[in-house]
Chains A and B, each alone.
Chain A
Amino acid sequence: GAVVSQHPSRVICKSGTSVKIECRSLDFQATTMFWYRQFPKQSLMLMATSNEGSKATYEQGVEKDKFLINHASLTLSTLTVTSAHPEDSSFYICSAGDGTDTQYFGPGTRLTVL
């Protein structure tokens, strides 16, 4: 089956620093990638949708200057949390679509901002 990887799996950083999370589709070309945020014991909240080679579309309430998304190739998307603060601590999940109605999810990245 299709595999999506995320790196790193967990990261701890100081307040004010930036953190980059990578999402890769390993065995298929992802026409669209999605970034979600999951709070403890809650559902996934879509943050943004990115298509290769174009600007990401952000959901209402998500700061595009804080959560920078780059989808430079059909197998790689990155999410950079800029000037991270403790309230940005969360579980970030990416998914990749192959052009059908199915998304394949990465294992997630646990971000802790001290």
Chain B
Amino acid sequence: GNSVTQMEGPVTLSEEAFLTINCTYTATGYPSLFWYVQYPGEGLQLLLKATKADDKGSNKGFEATYRKETTSFHLEKGSVQVSDSAVYFCALEAGSARQLTFGSGTQLTVLP
């Protein structure tokens, strides 16, 4: 079956630090890959996505590259801000049912 393994948190960084949150996946076929973000008290929001190998998704300074050879989709940001504090979920979608499989989530706290 499909699965997503995500770096365990919590992660605490100082403002302007470099961020990496690791995500690897197992899937049949060719999944689409996503990063969702959940800010405190809010619902999940799509942060970025990539639909095929070597695609790079990017948004709000965050990037992730779909690496088929390593089955990975690591999230990176060069300089985090306090406002980036949230829970980040890696997810994949495979098959015609459009169902998402989520990783366990990584809590990020950015200190001023």
The stretch among A68-76, A78-86, A102-110 that forms the contact with chain B is: A102-110
Query: Which chain B residue lies CB-closest to A99?
Result: B98
Partner of A105, one of B32, B43, B97, B107: B43
Q: If the complex has contacts A43-B89, A49-B97, A93-B44, are A101 and B102 also in contact, measured as CB distance less than 8 A?
A: no
Render B4-22 as a binary contact track against A, CB cut-off 8 A, 1 for contact. 0000000000000000000
Q: Are A43 and B43 in contact (CB under 8 A)?
A: no
Tell me how many residues of B have a C-beta within 8 Å of chain A. Answer: 21
Q: Are A44 and B102 in contact (CB under 8 A)?
A: yes
Q: How large is the interface on A (under 10, 10 to 19, 20 to 34, 35 or more residues)?
A: 20 to 34
Q: Are B43 and A107 in contact (CB under 8 A)?
A: yes
Q: What are the residues of chain A within 8 A of B42 when measuring CB–CB?
A: 107
A54 at the B interface (CB under 8 A)? no
Render A87-109 as a binary contact track against B, CB cut-off 8 A, 1 for contact. 00000010101000111111110
**B83: min CB distance to chain A, Å:** 19
**A63: min CB distance to chain B, Å:** 19
Partner of B51, one of A32, A41, A97, A101: A101
Main secondary structure of the interface of A (DSSP, over half): strand
Given contacts A4-B43, A49-B99, 16 further A-B contacts (CB under 8 A): A6-B43, A32-B98, A41-B105, A42-B104, A42-B105, A43-B103, A44-B89, A46-B99, A57-B97, A93-B44, A103-B98, A104-B46, A105-B44, A105-B45, A107-B42, A108-B43
Residues of A at the B interface (CB closer than 8 Å) are 4, 6, 32, 34, 41-44, 46, 49, 57, 93, 95, 97, 101-108
Residues of B at the A interface (CB closer than 8 Å) are 32, 36, 42-46, 49, 51, 89, 93, 97-105, 107
A-B contact pairs, 28 of them (CB 8 A): A4-B43, A6-B43, A32-B98, A34-B99, A34-B100, A42-B104, A43-B89, A43-B103, A43-B104, A43-B105, A44-B100, A46-B99, A46-B101, A57-B97, A93-B43, A93-B44, A95-B44, A97-B98, A101-B51, A102-B46, A103-B46, A103-B98, A103-B100, A105-B36, A105-B43, A105-B45, A106-B43, A107-B43
